[in-house]
Amino acid sequence: MTVDINPQAQPESPERSSLSTAGARNLATTTKSAPQMREITSRWLLRMLPWVETKGGTYRVNRRLSYTVGDGHIEFIQEGADVRVIPRELGELALLRGFEDMEVLTAIARRCVQRDFRAGETLVERGAPAEQIHLIAHGRISQTAAGKYGDKVAVAVLADGDRFGENALLDADARWDYTATAITAGTLLTLSRADFAAVMSTAPSLQAHIRQFSSLPLQRQNRHGEAEIALSAGHTGEPELPGTFVDYELKPREYELSVAQTILRVHTRVTDLYNGPMNQTEEQLRLTIEALRERQEYELVNNREFGLLHNADFKERIQAHSGPPTPDDLDELLSRRRGSKFFVAHPRAIAAIGREFNSRGLYPTHVDLGGQQVPAWRGVPILPCNKIPVTKGNTSSILVMRTGEDDQGVIGLRQTGLPEEYEPGLSVRFMGIDEKAVISYLVTTYFSAAILVPDALGVLENVQVAHRRD
């Protein structure tokens, strides 16, 4: 077939006197950067935590035995986000005061059901049947009732260690005399009348106690609630010295190392043909490790088993006085513990701190931290961590901590010496090449965190981080 081409239909290309840039680029090597990644942050928490070698994959925190029956408040055991009442602490309830059958108290404690509540949630309604007792592990709850003239009046504000509804355990006709509303988010444990009756039906000792209400001998404690060590001082002559021993928790908390893993896949064609001037496998691995380290810091803050937000002792959590973080709030955090090493806050919370300080004519000082100037209050650095959540209501938390084993503080846990270790506590294992010529590497890091004594970590909760409108 003959095709007739009209030469006038084709525009003539202008003649060039030199090579075009498009052509020259095919023979040139461009100047390029290594692959970039927006997810990378400063990760101050990982840098500041002292990392303790954890052989066997588990770290046990031994403490002195601590309970304070007789102080009017109920105490709880925290394991991550899970909360349990200490069986002996049930002796704070009027109807169980003096009851010492630990087997029965333990059975009652096991019947307590955890309930997490939100700020503003109505927990009980006035006039409704009262069928359970509520033990407040953490949070603030207001009780309101109808006044003499039909208006709403405040009855009480309850907080950590308080309880309400105690009469409901024995009185089948009990009704709530007030409405209980959550002021802040928190946690409580509930014990129903039916569960209490089920335990009592199989415990003659409890049945006898309910009839008699014997008195409770108080255990001597120090001001921290630890079993007291008997001592004698200032004596003369040869008086008989007190005998003593240091009692320990029988079931100390154990932290198992957590894991973050991923499988990195790289095609052999990429590594064979495109490995210069940058090593493709190394660049892929670098970005993968950055992502794993970001997730590691997130877990250290938010994990329900060992994360700092969930493991902070209820007594070491305070509420912002007026919403935004004020100097008074930060001072209260610092005053509750010795040797605070640093604050950790979301960048928006740090901005809110700056606004509140500026409004009062105060300007935080700066301290040198590894050659970098960071803001500080009372000489304690304020470090950013975007892993601390900000709620839909524009509230967040600010953490302050003492660190290190020697100071009984917060520590990071890891195990080094792993097979094919690439960085301390992180390994990269070759998994082989599949039938599609794809190379696979297993990238793994093991880690956890432990709070050695409760006052090592403090949290300022419900901090308003949004701008206030005057």
pLDDT in tens, 316-353: 888 887 788 999 999 989 998 999 999 999 999 999 99
Beta bridge partner(s), residue 380:
377
Q: Is residue 443 a contact partner of residue 259, using CB atoms and an 8 Å limit?
A: no
318, two tokens: 């305070």
Residue 322 is predicted with a pLDDT of 79
Does the pTM exceed 0.75? Answer: no
Looking at per-residue pLDDT, the higher value among 423 and 95 belongs to 423
Interval 294-323 mean pLDDT: 89
H-type alpha helices, 82-201: 102-110, 193-201
Given a cut of 50, whether residue 215 has pLDDT beyond it is no
Interval 287-297 mean pLDDT: 94
Interval 451-456 mean pLDDT: 91
Sheet holding 186-192, edge to edge: 113-117, 186-192, 132-138, 163-164
- What region, left, alpha or beta, does residue 411 occupy, with left being phi > 0 and alpha being psi -120 to 50 degrees? beta
Residue 414 is predicted with a pLDDT of 95
Q: Is residue 407 a contact partner of residue 401, using CB atoms and an 8 Å limit?
A: no
Given a cut of 60, whether residue 12 has pLDDT beyond it is no
Neighbour count for residue 341 (Cβ, 10 Å): 19
Given a cut of 80, whether residue 23 has pLDDT beyond it is no
254, two tokens: 């154990």
